[in-house]
Each structure stands twice: as C-alpha cells, then as structure tokens.
Amino acid sequence: MPKSKRNRPVTLSKTKKKGREHKESIVNSIRDAVEKYNSIYVFSFENMRNLKFKEFREQHKLTSRFFLGSNKVMQVSLGRSAADEIRPGLHKVSKLLRGDAGVFLTNLPREEVERLFNEYEEYDFARTGTTATETVELKEGPLEQFTHEMEPFLRKQGMPVRLNKGVIELVSDFVVSEEGKPLSPESARILRLLGTKTATFKLHLICRWSPEDFELYREGLDDSDVESA
C-alpha cells in the first residue's frame, strides 16, 4: 500500500502566527478526515443560511464531516496537483473548489448522499442586494395586516401609504420587488414584514471522489476542468 502523504509538512507563509496556526489546524483536520471517510464530495451553495446549514450538518455528524472556509486552504489540504495530493486523484477534487464551495466527507452510500443533497431546500427571507426571484406587487387599497403605528415606517420605505380611519391604505399599486433586479434595503424589509420568503438555500453536488473512481455531477464540466496544469 502506498505510503500516506497526509503528514507531509505544509508551508502557509505570509500569515500572522495566529492565522497560520488556525490554517494549519484546518489542514490537519481535513487530512485526518480523508483517512476516516470512504468518499469525498465537493458541493456548492446558494443563499447560504448559517443556522440552517449548522442544523443540516448536525443531522449527519455521526456519519459525515463538512468543511467550509478558504478554498485555498482546503486545496492545500488535499493537494493541488498530482505531485502533492495526499491520495491518488484528490487533486481533481481540489481543482473544483471554486467560489461558494465546500467539502463533504462521508461514509454514507452514494445514493443516500445524492438523495440528501437533491432534496435539501430551505426557504428564507431574501437579503439586500440579492437578485429577486419573483415580482411582488401590492395593489391599491387597505393593508389590514399592518397596525396603524406602522404607517410612518412604511412611508419611510417608500410605500405610498396614508391612514384612513385608523387603517393603513396604499394609495396606488406598489411594486416591492421586480424579478431579475437586485433587492434594495427597503424592498428586503418590506418582504420580511409581509412574511414573503423568496430566497431558497440549496446545496448542489459538483463531484464525488472515492479510492475507486471519480465522478462529475455538474453539467458543463468535463475532465479538462480537473486535469493538472
């Protein structure tokens, strides 16, 4: 059996001592996990929600391990080329750690992992600056879901409102969000007040590695995307 390269020294230069120690701890944790789990996945995420992700991670802590953080540090942990990878083929995994991505190490069967990721979906309130996924428009008339005390605040958010016999009234149609356009801070606040959740937190599998094989999930990727330079 080939000698493990997990304990090979790693140089993480140009960092303060505390930062370097933290990075080295992550490198060692990932390398330890590589020895303990049967397969490794790279996944991407959209509309990350830390609390919901923590709950998802806790549900699978007995069989799996998640890593999020600096892609560069995770790449160093696995090896960025065939020459420094800690197990054969892991440099392919490393090269797919781009953008909003993480590493999932597990002993779960492939079919179970695919089901978990494909079915996972959590809805939440959209944040300022995110692209609106739908157009939300309020029609002229009473807004009975709001108490009269809310009138000054709604007006401050740009809504054309007035009080009519103690009831907040929209004096003309008002577009809260428009599909395809970034949400303003005011739009995000109004959507939250309306209880309208338009952001979907999802996880997407990119690739799977095991000692026996390597598989790409994402459309548009091929072997040229993961070959060594």
| CATH classification of the domain holding 80 | 3.30.70.1730
CATH of the domain at 175: 3.90.105.20
Whether residue 190 is found in the same domain as residue 206: no
Considering the domain boundaries, does residue 32 fall inside one? yes
Q: Which of 15-24, 58-67, 107-116, 164-173 has the lowest mean pLDDT?
A: 15-24
Whether residue 107 is found in the same domain as residue 165: no
Considering the domain boundaries, does residue 3 fall inside one? no
What is the pLDDT confidence band of residue 20, given thresholds at 50, 70 and 90?
A: confident
pLDDT tens profile 81-116: 999 999 999 999 999 999 999 999 999 999 999 999
Q: Spell out where 63-166 has E strands.
A: 64-68, 101-106, 121-124, 136-138, 141-142, 161-164
Q: 28: burial class by Cβ within 10 Å (0-12, 13-18, 19+)?
A: middle
* Percentage above 70 pLDDT, the chain: 87
First to last CA, the chain: 27
Which pLDDT score is estimated for 12? 54
Considering just the CA atoms, what is the radius of gyration of the chain in Å? 24
Whether residue 190 is found in the same domain as residue 205: no
pLDDT tens profile 156-174: 999 999 999 899 999 999 9
Q: Residue 209 gets which letter from DSSP?
A: E
Exposure pattern of 153-184 as b/e (b: 16+ CB <10 Å)? ebeebebebeeeeeebbbeeebebbeeeeebb
d(CA 1, CA 5): 12
Considering the domain boundaries, does residue 6 fall inside one? no
Whether residue 170 is found in the same domain as residue 154: yes
Q: Which of 149-153, 215-219, 223-227 has the lowest mean pLDDT?
A: 223-227
Which pLDDT score is estimated for 15? 46
Write out the residue range of the structural domain in which residue 141 sits. Answer: 136-194
Q: Supply φ then ψ for residue 48, to 5 degrees.
A: -55, 135
Half-sphere exposure of 182 (CA within 13 A, CB side): 4
Considering the domain boundaries, does residue 5 fall inside one? no
Considering the domain boundaries, does residue 11 fall inside one? no
Q: Which residues pair with 169 in a beta bridge?
A: 142, 162
